[in-house]
Amino acid sequence: MNKDSADWPYPHHTKFEAELKEAAKRWFAARGYPVNPRQPYILDDWENWGRNIILPEVTEYIRREIAVRNERREGFALHRSVHHGLSSQVLLFNLVGPLVIRSDFEPLRTAFVEAGLPRPSADPARAGRHHTPHTMTSSCGTLGRKPPLPQTWSVPAGSTSRWPRRTARR
C-alpha cells in the first residue's frame, strides 16, 4: 500500500503517530512501568530502556553485547531515545532480536528473496565472533553469560552532541 494512494488509511501521519503513542502508553501502563508524566508513551528514565523490549532475553542479549563490544573497544550505540515508546531502534530489536537469539535468520532471508533484494555481502548466520555494525550475531552472546555491569549514559552539560556518553557504573 502506497502512502500517497487513496487507500492509505492515514492521509496525515499525525493520526497514525497519535495511535502509536496511545499503543505505547497502554503497553507501559498495562505493565505498571513508570513513564514521563507529560508524555506517557515514554519511559520515565533512559536507564529503563530495557522495559521497552518485549522479550527479556533480547534485553539480556543486548546488555551482554554492549559489554563484549566495550571490552573490545568497538562500541554499541543505544539511541538517546531508546526509552521512547516509538524508538526505531527498539522496533528493530523487538522484530529482529528474537531471530538473533535463536540464530534463526530464515524469516529474514525469505523476506529479502520475496522482495527481490540482493543478498547481503556477509551472511549473518556465519558471522560468528566477528562484530560489525552490520551483524547482530555473536557466539559471545550466549544466554549462559552473566549480564554486564550496568552502564550509565549522559550528555555532558553544554554539549551539542546528539549522542550520550557511556561510562561504566561502579
Strand partners, 118: none
**Residue 5: what pLDDT?**
58
Closest CA to 65 of 54, 76, 56, 78: 76
Rounded to two decimals, the pTM is 0.62
4 in any annotated domain = no
Q: Quote the number of domains for the chain.
A: 1
- Domain with 135, as residue range(s), is 13-115+125-168
55 in any annotated domain = yes
Reported as a single tens digit per residue, the pLDDT across 57-108 is 999 999 999 999 999 998 888 999 999 999 999 999 999 999 999 999 999 8
**Residue 77: what pLDDT?**
87
- Which is more confidently placed, 129 or 66? 66
Q: Which amino acid is at 51?
A: R
Strand partners, 167: 152
65 in any annotated domain = yes
CA distance 118 to 110: 12
Q: Are 98 and 58 in contact (CB under 8 A)?
A: yes
5 in any annotated domain = no
Reported as a single tens digit per residue, the pLDDT across 1-52 is 555 556 666 667 888 899 999 999 999 999 999 999 999 999 999 999 999 9
3 in any annotated domain = no
The answer, yes or no, to whether residue 162 has pLDDT greater than 70, is no
pLDDT level of residue 112 (50, 70, 90 thresholds): confident
1 in any annotated domain = no
Taking every pair of Cα atoms in the chain, the longest distance, rounded to a whole number of angstroms, is 56
120 in any annotated domain = no
CA distance 147 to 124: 23
The answer, yes or no, to whether residue 158 has pLDDT greater than 90, is no
Contacts of 54 (CB under 8 A, 6+ apart): 94
8 in any annotated domain = no
